[in-house]
């Protein structure tokens, strides 16, 4: 099973402000939907609460340390390893890690692929994507999109794949 990270980040790695996205990019939201549709979407508790509902067409898994936490429409896991195991047992071929920062940090050493949207702005972010070494990854796609009436900032979509020599053990 491929483990993929999907995130949008500003020029400094900012991914959120007050548990919300600090921008609105319709094209990126559509890309997110297209990529994740039919797959397991793994998120942390705060991200789950920020989204507010299960996303249609996706199998949501929420990671929390709280043994009493419930999220209707989501499967609850208590570790990233448990979440990935659940997705694998259900026959998933590509599980998507969709935040927040702590979950990204846990997933980064395990990830095979990253779908990153680089938003060309500096937001008033209070949450950041973890740093990663680009030398450990191969850039497969790098496509710039201009701002327009539905996308408030220029952005670049990137697809990164972990280098073969640096691939984690399955």
Q: How many domains does the chain have?
A: 1
Q: Is the dihedral of CA 37, 42, 47, 50 positive or negative?
A: positive
DSSP, collapsed to helix, strand or coil, labels residue 141 as strand
Domain span at residue 102 reads: 2-166
Contacts of 101 by beta carbon, 8 Å cutoff, 6+ apart: 15, 16, 127, 128, 129, 130
pLDDT tens digits in sequence order for the chain, 170 residues long: 999 999 999 999 999 999 999 999 999 999 999 999 999 999 999 999 999 999 999 999 999 999 999 999 999 999 999 999 999 999 999 999 999 999 999 999 999 999 999 999 999 999 999 999 999 999 999 999 999 999 999 999 999 999 855 445 44
- Give the whole-angstrom CA distance, residue 50 versus residue 147: 25
Q: Tell me: the pLDDT tens digits for 38-69?
A: 999 999 999 999 999 999 999 999 999 999 99
pLDDT of residue 164: 59
CATH code, domain with 161? 3.40.430.10
Radius of gyration of the chain (CA): 15
């Amino acid at each position: 099973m491929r483990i993929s990270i999907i995130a949008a980040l500003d020029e400094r790695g900012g991914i959120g402000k007050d548990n919300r996205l600090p921008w609105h990019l319709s094209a990126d939201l559509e890309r997110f939907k297209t990529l994740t549709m039919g797959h397991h979407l793994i998120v942390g508790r705060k991200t789950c609460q920020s989204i507010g509902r299960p996303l249609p067409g996706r199998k949501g898994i929420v990671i929390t340390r709280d043994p009493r936490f419930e999220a209707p429409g989501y499967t609850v896991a208590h570790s990233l390893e448990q979440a990935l195991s659940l997705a694998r047992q259900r026959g998933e071929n590509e599980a998507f890690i969709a935040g927040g920062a702590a979950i990204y940090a846990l997933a980064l050493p395990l990830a095979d692929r990253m779908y990153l949207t680089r938003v060309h702005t500096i937001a008033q972010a209070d949450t950041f994507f973890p740093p990663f070494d680009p030398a450990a990854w191969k850039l497969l796609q790098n496509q710039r999109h201009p701002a327009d009436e539905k996308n408030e900032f220029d952005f670049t979509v990137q697809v990164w794949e972990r280098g073969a020599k640096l691939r984690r053990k399955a």
